Amino acid sequence: MLMVCSVSNKVPHESRQALKQQLVEHYRWLRQYGYNDSHSGNASFRWHDEIWITPTGCCADLLQPEDLLCCSIDGQLAAGASLDAPLHLEVYRHNPEARAVLHSHGPHAIALSLSGKDFVPVDFEGQYYFPVVPVIDIPFTSYVEQSPLAVAEQLATHKVAIVRGHGVYACAPTINLAYKWSCSVELSAKIAWLSVQG
């Protein structure tokens, strides 16, 4: 079903347009600093009952605010929205404080997730922010069906979760904070990896 978002007179702390610009910038930074490749990951923010999300397969280097697509918290998806759009909607429904969701592919976090064990940071900052990071094992063949609920349940009580062998999902009350969690967990994973090298 095609979703058309109407203009609302209600303005939260920041305007819809300002948040669209922020999302594009932060999504681009994930690419710029090596947390995603050119066309991977996805990002969204919630504005009232509107969920603005990156298009499927979009290039972070070229993405513009007007390229973002509007879905509805009640489950209506925009044509061309990220394949992960149902997952984002489920996260917002499970966590009322969440106003942003970022998905990234930090290589160290993914590498550490392959053990299948929850990630326990060894560094001070990591322990402070994430005493434990859940690692979720979802079969590749049923990822689209199982991932929305599996990830949303973990992000209801954790800042970040890692899907084994796939990537990091982070949620927060702001886009910038979700970005911070995405970057911080990757740094903690890198430190953990370095700590066991000969």
For 24-40, how does the pLDDT look when each residue is reduced to its tens digit (9 = 90+)?
Answer: 999 999 999 999 999 99
Note whether residue 11 is domain-resident: no
Residue 192 in this model has a pLDDT that exceeds 60: yes
Note whether residue 179 is domain-resident: yes
pLDDT average, residue stretch 114-123 = 98
Q: Tokens 């392959």 map to which residue?
A: 114
Note whether residue 8 is domain-resident: no
Contacts 24+ apart (CB under 8 A), 4-11: 4/70, 5/50, 5/70, 5/72, 8/48, 10/48
Mean pLDDT computed over every residue of the chain: 94
Cα 177 from Cα 100, distance rounded (Å): 8
**Sign of the alpha-carbon torsion through 100, 68, 82, 52:** positive
Predicted pLDDT at 13: 63
Q: For the whole model, what pTM was predicted?
A: 0.92
Predicted pLDDT at 174: 98
Q: For residue 129, name the pLDDT band (cuts at 50, 70, 90).
A: very high
Note whether residue 48 is domain-resident: yes
Predicted pLDDT at 1: 46
The secondary structure of residue 6, as a DSSP letter, is: P
Cα 175 from Cα 99, distance rounded (Å): 7
Beta-carbon contacts of residue 143 (< 8 Å; ≥ 6 apart): 163, 166
- Residue 118 has φ and ψ, to the nearest 5°, of -55, 145
Question: 95: closest CA among 38, 39, 11, 152?
Answer: 152
Note whether residue 47 is domain-resident: yes
Percent of the chain with pLDDT over 70: 93
Residue 198 in this model has a pLDDT that exceeds 90: no
Note whether residue 25 is domain-resident: yes
Domain count, the chain: 1
DSSP codes joined into one string, 174-197: SHHHHHHHHHHHHHHHHHHHHHT-
Note whether residue 98 is domain-resident: yes
Strand, helix or coil at 77?
Answer: coil
143-160 pLDDT, tens per residue? 999 999 999 999 999 999
Note whether residue 93 is domain-resident: yes
Q: What is the domain-level CATH number for residue 30? A: 3.40.225.10
Residue 8 in this model has a pLDDT that exceeds 60: no
39-81 pLDDT, tens per residue? 999 999 999 999 999 999 999 999 999 999 999 999 999 999 9
pLDDT average, residue stretch 111-139 = 98
Residue-range definition of the domain harbouring residue 59: 16-195
Percent of the chain with pLDDT over 90: 92
Predicted pLDDT at 14: 83
Predicted pLDDT at 104: 99
